A and B are shown apart, each in its own frame.
Chain A
Amino acid sequence: MLSPAILGPTMTLVFPAVHAAVATREALGQAFFWFSSTLLATIFVAEIVLSLHSPGYPGWLTLPILTVIWITALVLRSASGRSTASLIVGGLVITASVAAFAFTLANFSVTEGTSATFLLTSLKIAVTLIGGMIDRRSSGAVGMLVGYVAAEAAVIVGLIGSSRTLIVDIPAVAIALGGALALELLVISRRRTRQVESPISMADAIELAARERRVLELRSSALVHDTILSELATLATTRPGPLTARTIAQIRQSIDLVAEPETDTPLPEPVALTGALLGVIERLRADGLEVEVSGDLRGLDTLDSMRALALSQAIEQCLVNVLRHSGVTRSELVVFTTARELTAMITDAGRGFIESEVGDDRLGLRNSVRGRIASVGGKVQLWSSPGSGTSVVLTVPLLGEAT
């Protein structure tokens, strides 16, 4: 059996830490790009508004500068913009563009006070976030800080010689420092939270292995019940004396069947199973049980082999139960298909029983019917009471993965 350590990485309950780190970094990169793009667009619109408001305003100068910054960010976001050379060239282009924007604003613009501060602060924040976006080697914190420093330096250079006073840009500083801190916190938080990945994957792997073993054991148990236990029950009620050739052949077949691994040979096609089930019905008729079939037994052909096999074996066991325990010689099998599932109903008008009063050691209904149908995602409903017969409804989904 494979160890949980081997199974672990393939489990699907928890997003693995290694994938989470890459995905979060990528998502943050996209968030930074769209944040800075929105800010650049805002500045762009503001510049158009100001140009319309002041005919002398040099929008024809600042708008191309903003466009260059955005296109450079777009290139740096793409796969081709991830080389060191691209980063250096792109960084220089953006820094120079910020300086040019500040210079234009300081020397050709009539914009004053709040408006100028808003434009420059927004631009610095946009460049800070572009820095966070292109820093793919750390959490992004270093890139944000470098981006802020470059933007601030570029603005200072751009404003040299102008009458504007330099003040500490509190919003831009706060976003650079706060953003960098948040990115580092995110790494710490992720590391702490994802510690549970290993135990949860381990539990999932153990459960998967246990589940597979349980299914195989259930099938094995059902096989033993339908073959060997059935032969022993026949012998227990047979009078001493020579055995019929049919009984001997049946016992030989049962001995051979339990010696085979269940899934070593490929599963038979559903069509073959349908034929086999019809053969079983004929055999039971020979044993004295009249089975009236209605609906479309060929509906089994629409199931996959695993489901068809489980259903045909469960139907067979239900009919065997009627023959052995109901006290009547007539039974009805109805098969019908809907868009999502196939249903088989086996009814008799025999003596009936109370399921909870059936001994724990009677495995026919539990393993050979309920167990088999449950193992392929189906369900079993049973109606029976003493003196009023029994109806068993087996429902199997047409789609979805069988165990």
Chain B
Amino acid sequence: MVHRRAVWRGFRQLLPISLFVAVFGMAFGLAATQSGLSGSAIVLMSTLVFAGAAQFATLDLWGTQMPVIALAVTVFAINARHLLMGATLYPWLRHLPPVQRYAVMLVASDANWALSIQALGRGEPGLSLLLGGGLALWLFWILGTWLGLFMGSAIDDPVRWGLDMVMGCFLLTMVVDGPKNPRLLAIWAAAAGASLLAWRYLPENSHVVAGAIAGGLLGAFWPEEQP
């Protein structure tokens, strides 16, 4: 069930992060303008794609000709973590009618997924948070992108102000906030080790999937203690 009040709560809970997301939207709007895209194309891209890292990576490929395979592979590799996020949410999503199930996944993204999976673990209505938080992130991503077309130069150096760390710090608070025990710490160590190895030795953008699967496998074969 998706609860309207919980959707609104998710929206408000991710509002502060969304403001920072808007700043990155501005940076994207500016960068895309500099790559030669038209304003309407840039806003359309942020609206339909809603995946910042993949959108920035696409700008790196941008020339007078866009190689289709390279484009699809890059976007897929960067966004492959969504596959895992969907899988982790499935035990709860399966109780929704299919239309709702796929509708809430439309706005699934790092921050709102992390928020919702924590809440679900505590037995709270996390899917509503996923939807509400996702709507906040999506709206501010579009708004920021649009603002970036006109005043992108106002945020010429977001890194200097630590703004590149917003998402990382947020995700870290989700880790710290969650349950901790020796089994989980071992799983996290496996995930960290595998992601670092993949980041160093495997093709670009494979580290999230590698780390997550390593942690998942250890979890599958190390029985949880019965509560």
Q: Is the pairing of A and B real?
A: no
**Could you list which residues of chain B lie within 8 angstroms of chain A, going by C-beta atoms?**
none
**Could you list which residues of chain A lie within 8 angstroms of chain B, going by C-beta atoms?**
none
